[in-house]
Amino acid sequence: MTARPVVGVFALQGDVREHVRALTACGATAVPVRRPAELDEVDGLVIPGGESTTMSKLSIDFGLYDPIAKRLADGMPVYGSCAGMIMLATTVLDGRADQRSFGALPMTVRRNAFGRQVDSFEAPVAVAGLEGDPFHAVFIRAPWVESVGDEVTVLGTIDRAGADGVTAPHVVAVRQGSALATSFHPELTGDLRLHNLFVEMVREAA
């Protein structure tokens, strides 16, 4: 494993370019992944924000679903932001009946939990393991985590009302082993701490 890992970004849908720029700035070789052969060449994978139901459909249509699921089951490091978090969950609430996720993190996630596009917001989130100030998090039609498995570590929560109008602490960042997920979009902020964390996870996994 070289000091410059190859990190793929799921590129069939979502904010791909922003993640590629952030990963490159963190010392990785970042490449888009649209085909199984491209997946074979990467050491880790980022699943970006976007539309999780569309990602699910396209991953199946392009023959990527099974290869990604196998690589994740074999321990390939993965980071999912927003829709990517949904794609990593074992259980998705308020999704479509035919929606599939990769099940890399034993957790239950609720889609659009904080509301619609007009309810998007920015807020500070203290993320365990990141030095410095709380992370300036951007939430866009964001999910939250309703429950996690015993081995999942909660890295960050936010005390805010959701689409149900109830203000309560909600889990928005989690990790288990080589799988990391946030319900917000670090790639839109210029703060590279989460991408640096993931690149280091990829290096350590090798």
H/E segment holding residue 55: helix 52-61
Helix (H, G, I), strand (E, B) or coil at 44: strand
Please say whether the beta carbons of 155 and 127 come within 8 A.
Answer: yes
Determine which one of 18, 19, 170, 187 is catalytic.
187
Distances (CA, A) of 35 to 15, 23, 58, 83: 17, 20, 11, 20
Instruction: Specify whether 26 is catalytic.
Output: no
Please say whether the beta carbons of 8 and 39 come within 8 A.
Answer: yes
- For residue 106 the two structure tokens come to 């034993």
Determine which one of 18, 19, 26, 82 is catalytic.
82
Count the Cβ atoms, other than its own, within 10 Å of residue 149: 12
Determine which one of 185, 195, 200, 204 is catalytic.
185
Count the Cβ atoms, other than its own, within 10 Å of residue 54: 14
Helix (H, G, I), strand (E, B) or coil at 94: coil
Annotated active-site positions, please? 82, 185, 187
